[in-house]
């Protein structure tokens, strides 16, 4: 089962600390995913984007600012 | 002096009101792009008609949900999206900006300004696709919508909440009737929406100029998609316009909406459907082309008093080819609407303008909404005209006719002339009543043939200047007394003597 697990792609703006790593691992395990792959992309300005299969959990500062921009 | 703290506070307040759509979104990747159509894999949980965000800030509409991919149409950026680009679901369907701010403006089907008068900020929107009012929410059509065109208001009356199709070949004055109707709503407390679907930008510019110079833009919004716009924009344009109309209708206001024209709308939908590889039916239109228009026109309604009593009157326009009203789209729309105004190029070219074919035009519900006085005096009009046309066919054989027949013929011809009306020259209800009374009386026999239109224009001027008391005495919702009728005819006779003099008045018969 673990072998077939999808890879969770995680985008962060800077190198994550241990606390975050642990929380992310828990989060993705709860969604049936055991492998993680980290990408560091300062463009997201902060926060985190987790992509499992075709589901995206977008908690990045960039997308939240984008929402504000559209609403104003 | 503007206080920076105030601005800061205002912004904070606004930002605190921003609704976040939640962080979980479904994504997919583009695996096909061409002709404005994209196919996307992934996107689990996407809805039909859901708005999609394509990377790069473009928007698309999910229309085909298939086993392993989603077919969507792009509103813009069809040459910018790349293979493999991410597409995000938004969880919302398409919405149109609504509000009083849109009156006097020209907008695209998403509510963005196209007239260069600055961005439109309303803070309100309505879904572009919305269910029609339920049966119990509807009221009876009982208030007239005056077009200001004698031939229509007397014989094919339109009520508020009715759907009256304007159908005819190209260049027969379809748009002219719609524009005249919008112009005539000045001071009538009717909000007008003109939806252009796949029109030439040049003809649209002409229409807008007419509306503007006629002072009609104050209460009118133009929702526009031109022939060079992306096909999906042309497809949603009438629904967007209708969403705006509904906003006003549910506030209890009366709205007039013109869809110009639905045949181009059907063509745009056909293009989209064929590119999405939906099965083609008759004339290559997809199977749901009937539903396409029925769901749009069902949203026009007269609401019951309990629901505020607002209404949407729809004037859809359909263009026929070579007068063929039994083609696919014309028959569909004829069966959906509550009547049609049929325009003929033959009439148009022979100088009968508006070129309304009285025999084929009907109004199925407007009669009950017609002003009482007009209904009373125009009752015989249709029959008289029908008799005239029947006789006119015999006249072509050139045989000798008895005096009675000649009189009927001459009267019929003059009646037809009375119904001719220059564009942008709308009659008020009282003026119509005067013209109808005169045209069905002995006075008309005295007017020289071919001078009727001239006489009518002059008569109305004369009445306005010298006999305003008679115009004031007319009650459009009551009976026209014999006495008043006599006075009006006497005034008409006076004017006739004044213009033609006794000598030449009776020489034409």
Could you write out the three-class secondary structure of B208-235?
HHHHHHCCCHHHEEEEEEECCCCHHHHH
Show the CA angle centred on residue B470, arms to residues B466 and B471, nearest 5°: 90
pLDDT in tens, chain B (509 residues): 677 788 888 888 877 777 666 678 888 999 999 999 999 998 988 999 999 999 878 999 999 999 999 999 999 998 999 999 989 998 889 999 999 999 999 999 999 999 999 989 888 999 999 999 999 999 999 999 999 999 999 999 999 999 999 999 999 999 999 999 999 999 999 999 999 999 999 999 999 999 999 999 999 999 999 999 999 999 999 999 999 999 999 999 999 999 999 999 999 999 999 999 999 999 999 999 999 999 999 999 999 999 999 999 999 999 999 999 999 999 999 999 999 999 999 999 999 999 999 989 999 998 889 999 999 999 889 888 988 988 888 777 666 778 888 888 889 999 999 999 999 999 999 999 999 999 999 999 999 988 999 999 999 999 999 999 999 999 999 989 999 999 999 999 999 998 876 544 444 43
N-to-C CA span, chain A: 46
DSSP B134: P
Number of domains comprising chain A: 1
DSSP B305: G
B194: which 2 tokens? 């003109």
Classify residue A2: in a domain, yes or no.
no
Chains A & B: contacts with CB separation below 8 Å: 40
Question: If one looks up domain B22-93 in CATH, what number appears?
Answer: 2.40.30.20
Question: If one looks up domain B97-370 in CATH, what number appears?
Answer: 3.40.50.300
How much is the ipTM here? 0.73
Taking only the tens place, the pLDDT of each residue in B3-18 is 778 888 888 887 777 7
Predicted pLDDT of residue B199: 94
Residue B93's alpha-carbon distances to A5, B49, B117, B128, B432, in angstroms, are: 33, 6, 28, 8, 47
Residues in chain A within 8 Å Cβ distance of B44: 53-55
Of the candidates A46, A51, A50, which has an alpha carbon nearest to the alpha carbon of residue A64?
Answer: A46
Which A positions 33-62 lie with beta carbon below 8 A of chain B? 51, 53-59
Domain extent listing, chain B = 22-93, 97-370, 376-505
Classify residue A62: in a domain, yes or no.
yes
Q: Which of the residues of B are catalytic?
A: 364
Closest partner CB to B27 (pick from A54, A71, A72)? A54
The reply to whether residue A67 touches residue B42, judged by beta carbons under 8 angstroms, is no
Q: Does A31 touch chain B (CB under 8 A)?
A: no
Asked if residues B218 and B23 have their Cβ atoms less than 8 Å apart, the reply is no
**Domain B376-505 sits in which CATH superfamily?**
ATP synthase alpha/beta chain, C-terminal domain (1.20.150.20)
Predicted pLDDT of residue B22: 64
Give A18 to chain B, closest Cα distance, Å.
Answer: 23
Residue B101's alpha-carbon distances to B220, B254, B372, in angstroms, are: 11, 17, 37
Closest partner CB to B23 (pick from A54, A58, A72)? A58
Indicate the pTM of the whole model: 0.90
Supply the range of the domain harboring residue A32.
Answer: 7-71
Closest partner CB to A54 (pick from B17, B21, B43)? B43
Predicted pLDDT of residue B12: 83
Classify residue A1: in a domain, yes or no.
no
């Amino acid at each position: 089962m673990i072998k077939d697990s999808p890879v969770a792609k995680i985008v962060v703006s800077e190198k994550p600390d241990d606390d975050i790593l642990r929380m992310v691992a828990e989060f993705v395990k709860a969604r049936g995913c055991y492998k993680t792959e980290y990408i560091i992309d300062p463009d997201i300005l902060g926060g985190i984007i987790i992509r499992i299969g075709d589901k995206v959990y977008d908690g990045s500062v960039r997308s939240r600012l984008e929402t504000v921009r559209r609403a104003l | 002096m503007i206080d920076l703290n105030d601005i800061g506070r205002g912004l904070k307040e606004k930002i605190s009101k921003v609704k976040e759509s939640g962080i979980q979104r479904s994504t997919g990747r583009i695996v096909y792009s061409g002709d404005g159509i994209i196919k996307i894999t992934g996107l689990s949980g996407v809805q039909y008609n859901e708005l999609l965000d394509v990377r790069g800030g473009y928007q698309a509409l999910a229309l085909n949900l298939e086993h392993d991919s989603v077919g969507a149409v792009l509103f813009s950026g069809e040459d910018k999206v790349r293979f493999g680009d991410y597409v995000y679901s938004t969880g919302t369907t398409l919405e149109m900006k609504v509000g009083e701010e849109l009156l006097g403006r020209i907008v695209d089907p998403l509510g963005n300004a196209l007239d260069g008068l600055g961005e439109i900020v309303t803070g309100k929107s309505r879904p572009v696709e919305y269910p029609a009012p339920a049966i119990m929410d509807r009221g009876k059509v009982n208030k007239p919508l005056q077009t200001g065109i004698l031939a229509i208001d007397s014989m094919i009356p339109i009520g508020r909440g009715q759907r009256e199709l304007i159908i005819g070949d190209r260049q027969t004055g379809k748009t002219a009737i719609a524009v005249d109707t919008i112009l005539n709503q000045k001071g009538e407390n009717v909000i007008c929406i003109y939806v252009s679907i796949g029109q030439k930008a040049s003809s649209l510019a002409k229409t807008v100029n007419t509306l503007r110079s006629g002072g009609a833009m104050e209460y009118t919004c133009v929702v526009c998609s031109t022939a060079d716009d992306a096909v999906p924009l042309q497809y949603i344009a009438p629904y967007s316009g209708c969403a705006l109309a509904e906003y006003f209708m549910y506030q209890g206001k009366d709205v007039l909406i013109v869809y110009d024209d639905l045949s181009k709308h059907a063509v745009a939908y056909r293009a989209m459907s064929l590119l999405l590889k939906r099965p083609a039916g008759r004339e290559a239109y997809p199977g749901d082309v009937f539903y396409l228009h029925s769901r749009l026109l069902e949203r026009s309604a007269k609401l019951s008093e309990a629901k505020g009593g607002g209404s949407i009157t729809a004037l859809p326009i359909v263009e026929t080819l070579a007068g063929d009203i039994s083609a696919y789209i014309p028959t569909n729309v004829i069966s959906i609407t509550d009547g049609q105004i049929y325009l003929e190029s033959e009439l148009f070219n022979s100088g009968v303008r508006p070129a309304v074919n009285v025999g084929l035009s009907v109004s199925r519900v407007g009669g009950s909404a017609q002003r009482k006085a007009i209904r009373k005096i125009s009752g015989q009009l249709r029959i008289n005209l029908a008799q005239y046309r029947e006789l006119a066919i015999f006249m072509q054989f050139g045989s000798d006719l008895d005096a009675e027949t000649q009189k009927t013929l001459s009267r019929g011809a003059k009646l037809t002339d009375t119904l001719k009306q220059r564009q942008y020259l709308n009659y008020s209800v009282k003026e119509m009543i005067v013209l109808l009374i005169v045209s069905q009386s002995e006075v008309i026999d005295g007017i020289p043939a071919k001078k009727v239109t001239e006489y009518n224009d002059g008569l109305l001027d004369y009445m306005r200047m010298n006999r305003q008391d008679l115009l004031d005495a007319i009650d459009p919702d009551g009976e026209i007394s014999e006495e008043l009728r006599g006075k009006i005819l006497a005034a008409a006779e006076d004017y006739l003597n004044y213009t033609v003099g006794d000598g030449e008045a009776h020489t034409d018969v």
